[in-house]
């Protein structure tokens, strides 16, 4: 009898444990289902978007952008749109509304005022859909109309930079695939710029976080702007030169590889940094084998700088991306206006007048000269230039002929 009681007790315990595991499993399954929670008109909504997406053979993680709006100004139903790409608005010329691009939309959920889901649509083919100011409810990203924010991010994932892993580094990285630079390490935050393959950036932290199915690195662009990119779009490189300068309250640090063009940068000791034009925000860096010389333009407040000796040019856009590199230039001259000049590592003369003063580059320090005094009479073997300081980017005093 005692043995039978023990057996029944054991079976009961096993059955209870099984039920607990089953419930726990169900609980975990329910817990893993992604819900979209939001409040509208003093009601709390919780929509099982992952489950609804799966029923329509959609992986909700492939659609990171969403917008929630009333169906119309007179309707009490709510529409939830999911998109693979960032939504963009166009201000309507008649109504107080924005036309939101609809070609990228892949999933729409309709929620009635009682909270029930009354409709789902997949692979929408709308050219746009209208969102009035008073029908907008929420979005998880800033929706722009040109450079103006049509609807501000007021919902969704909030990135916390204090949770980043502290993996500092100082690596020169090349972009291997066209990649977007984000202001924070999550795709629902604003894009700073898009870097073409081949761009060079400085990586200051690696594997800072894993969000949206991607591992993120923190980088600094050529104009000093910090941002985040997908780690798998970068690779470490070596052998790159760099030039640092300040312009418009930004610290630029531009990397380039002259060897790609068969150029040894030491053969090009003179450089000039200018704005591309008076109206452009792009910057051009010119390298030259010979000292640059100016000629005052008879019409404009500018100097024509001899361009025949220029061999290398780098173009940096205002967003910090390097958009162009040119070698073996054959320009007769380049026009440098007084208000487009940024920096040079030499005095650029126009006749006997300095057109643009040296304000950058190597600074010679005579106190560091080795004290090897002598009093020798020497003959000049080859024609040579006498410089005011022991560096070619300083002014020339005269040229001595061979035999002098």
Dihedral angle, C-alpha 306, 312, 316, 322, nearest 10 °? 160
d(CA 60, CA 186) in angstroms, rounded, equals 16
CA neighbor of 106 nearest in space, from 133, 124, 94: 124
Contact 126, 102 (CB under 8 A): yes
Cα gap 297→309, rounded to integer Å: 19
Whether 365 maps to a domain, the answer reads no
DSSP 8-state symbol, 109: E
Tell me whether residue 72 is in a domain. yes
- What's the pLDDT at 33? 61
Instruction: Give the per-residue pLDDT at 25.
Output: 39
Task: Write down the pLDDT at residue 349.
Answer: 93
User: In terms of domains, do 311 and 226 share one?
Assistant: no
Token code pair at residue 179 = 């990649």
Q: How many domains does the chain have?
A: 3
In terms of domains, do 187 and 231 share one?
A: yes
Task: Name the residue range of residue 229's domain.
Answer: 164-236
Q: Counting beta carbons within 10 angstroms of the beta carbon of residue 372, is it exposed (0 to 12), middle (13 to 18) or buried (19 or more)?
A: exposed
Identify whether the C-beta of residue 148 lies closer than 8 Å to the C-beta of residue 209: no
Written as tens digits, the pLDDT of the chain (404 aa) is: 555 544 445 444 444 444 334 333 333 333 346 899 999 999 999 999 999 989 888 888 889 999 999 999 999 999 999 998 999 999 999 999 999 988 777 789 999 988 889 888 877 767 889 999 999 999 999 999 999 999 999 999 999 888 888 789 999 999 999 999 999 999 999 999 999 999 999 999 999 999 888 999 999 999 999 999 999 999 999 989 999 999 999 999 999 888 877 788 888 899 999 999 999 999 999 999 889 999 999 999 999 998 877 778 899 998 998 887 777 676 788 999 999 999 999 999 999 899 999 999 988 887 777 778 888 888 888 888 878 888 788 888 888 888 77
The count of other CB atoms within 10 Å of the CB of residue 386 is 10
184 and 142 both lie in a single domain? no
Structural domain includes residue 386: no
379 belongs to a structural domain: no
Q: Using the 3D structure, point to which of 151, 184, 200 is the last residue of a domain.
A: 151
**Tokens read off for 224:** 């000093």
* Closest among 278, 86, 293, 328 to 190, alpha carbons compared: 86
122 and 180 share a domain? no
Dihedrals φ, ψ of 9, to 5°?
A: -65, -45
Q: Please tell me the distance from the alpha carbon of residue 161 to that of residue 227, in angstroms, as a whole number.
A: 12
The span from the CA of 265 to the CA of 59, in Å, is 51
Give the per-residue pLDDT at 237.
95
- 129 shares a domain with 168: no
pLDDT, position 222: 95
Residue 105 to residue 86: CA distance in whole angstroms = 10
Dist CA 303 CA 305 (whole Å): 6
Check whether residue 40 and residue 146 sit in a common domain: yes
Stated pTM of the model: 0.80
From 285, 263, 394, select the one nearest 340 (Cα to Cα): 285
Give the span between the Cα atoms of 173 and 27, in whole angstroms.
45
């Amino acid at each position: 009898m005692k043995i039978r009681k023990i057996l029944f007790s054991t079976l009961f315990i096993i059955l209870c444990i099984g039920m607990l595991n089953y419930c726990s499993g169900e609980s975990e399954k329910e817990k893993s289902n992604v819900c979209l929670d939001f409040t509208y008109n003093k009601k709390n909504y919780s929509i099982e978007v992952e489950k609804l997406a799966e029923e329509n053979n959609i992986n909700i993680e492939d659609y990171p952008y969403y917008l929630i709006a009333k169906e119309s100004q007179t309707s009490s139903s709510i529409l939830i749109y999911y998109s693979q790409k960032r939504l963009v608005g166009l201000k309507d010329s008649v109504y107080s509304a924005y036309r939101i691009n609809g070609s990228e939309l892949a999933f729409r959920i309709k929620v009635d005022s009682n909270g029930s889901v009354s409709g789902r649509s997949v692979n929408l083919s709308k050219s746009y859909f209208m969102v009035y100011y008073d029908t907008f409810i929420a979005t998880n990203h800033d929706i722009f109309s040109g450079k103006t924010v049509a609807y501000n991010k007021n919902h969704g994932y909030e990135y916390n930079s204090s949770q980043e892993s502290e993996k500092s580094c100082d690596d020169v990285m090349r972009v291997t695939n066209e990649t977007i630079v984000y202001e924070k390490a999550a795709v629902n935050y604003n894009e700073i710029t898009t870097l073409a393959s081949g761009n060079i950036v400085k990586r200051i932290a690696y594997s800072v976080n894993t969000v949206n199915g991607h591992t993120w690195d923190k980088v600094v662009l050529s104009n000093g702007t910090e941002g985040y990119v997908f780690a798998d779009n970068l690779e470490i490189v070596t052998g790159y030169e760099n030039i640092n300068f300040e312009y418009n309250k930004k610290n630029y640090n531009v990397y380039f590889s002259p060897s790609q063009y068969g150029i040894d940068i030491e053969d090009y000791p003179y450089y000039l940094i200018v704005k591309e034009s008076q109206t452009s925000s792009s910057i051009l860096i010119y390298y030259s084998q010979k000292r640059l010389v100016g000629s005052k333009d008879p019409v404009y407040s500018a100097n024509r700088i001899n361009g025949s000796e220029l061999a290398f040019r780098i173009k940096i856009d205002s967003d910090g991306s390097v958009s162009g590199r040119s070698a073996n230039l054959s320009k007769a001259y380049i026009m440098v206006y007084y208000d487009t000049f940024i920096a040079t590592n030499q005095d650029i003369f126009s006749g006997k007048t300095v057109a643009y003063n040296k304000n950058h580059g190597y600074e010679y320090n005579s106190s560091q000269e080795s004290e090897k005094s002598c009093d020798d009479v020497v003959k000049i073997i080859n024609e040579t230039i006498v410089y005011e300081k022991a560096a070619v980017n300083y002014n020339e005093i005269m040229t001595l002929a061979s035999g002098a």
